[in-house]
Structures are given as C-alpha cells and as structure tokens.
Amino acid sequence: MSLGTNDRCWCGSGQKYKKCHRLTDAPVKPGLVGPMRPVPADIERPPYIANGGRPPTRNEKLVKPPNVVAAMRKAGLAAGEVLDAVIAHLETCDWTVELTDVRPPIDALGIKPRKAMPLLYTAVEGRRAGLPLFDSIHLLGRERSLERLRVARARLGSEPGGTAG
C-alpha cells in the first residue's frame, strides 16, 4: 500500500505526506555530474594537492634512536610511579576536595606537579586538561576515580616503557 500525497504521513505527525516525508522517502535517482570548475588562483591550495591527494610524509623515522627509546622508557616509568602514588593516596585519604589534592604524593616523588597533571587529567577526565582536577576526582567519587586511574596504570604495563597491554 502506498500513500497518496494528500494522505496523512506514516510517521504520525498529523501533516500531509507531501509536506512531511515524501521527499525523504523517494529513492535517490542518479543525476548528472557537472563539469569541474577551475579554482581561482588567489585560493591557496592545501599541501596534499601536490601529492595527488595523499597526505604528506612525515620526516620522523619510525625506528627511534637509542637515546629517544631510553627517554620514552624513563617517561613511562615515571608515569607509572605517579599513577601508583596517586592511587595509593586516594585509597587512603579522607574524601574531601582539599584532601583529594594529589600534589603532595607527586611532590614526594621529586616530580613537579605541572609535569604530572596532563597524565592525571588524561586518566581521570580523558583529556589533557579540563575541569579542576581535584573537583572532578571528588565528584566522580573514590571508586570511579580509582577505577579510571587503575585502567590508565594497566595500559602502561609493568615493563619499562609500558610495552604490555
């Protein structure tokens, strides 16, 4: 059974079919592709046009030199230490905004808090910056905050540089 253009629409809106869903229900019919138009010379071309539509190649080597690999391992170990210290702190502290401040355990590691905050924001909020971190931790509650931090810690793995997981 097909609807007439003046029948009530099948969606129940109360409108006539021709004013509601007729155009969206019609099958798409092939049309003609118009001729390609020239782009004015004053419009800057994106860099991928010169490469035939392929993205530009990266100048960075995929295999890193030993000093870069060592630095990545050191950063992974430091991130694991920070997450371990923050998890231990949040497991035992009283649950107030003031006491969920994670700077003291980070300071105790000899790491500047501003270096560790992007890691903690990413673990707790899913981005490098966002709402005030201690407020977010407090509002999420102990269990959800700890769960997110533990997931981040598990992703690092137990080996230097986070090669597991």
What is the reported pLDDT for 163?
Answer: 44
Domain count, the chain: 1
DSSP 3-state assignment of 46?
Answer: coil
In terms of residue numbers, what domain contains 106? 94-165
pLDDT tens, residue by residue, 22-78:
877 777 778 888 888 888 989 888 777 777 777 667 777 778 889 999 998 999 999
Separation CA 83–CA 165 (nearest Å): 16
Encoded amino acid at 144, one letter: R
Contact 148, 140 (CB under 8 A): yes
Q: Residue 153's domain is classified under what CATH number?
A: 1.10.10.350
- Domain membership of residue 133 (yes or no) is yes
pLDDT tier at 165, thresholds 50, 70, 90: very low
Of 25, 27, 35, 30, nearest in space to 4 by CA: 25
Look at the pTM and tell me if it is higher than 0.85: no
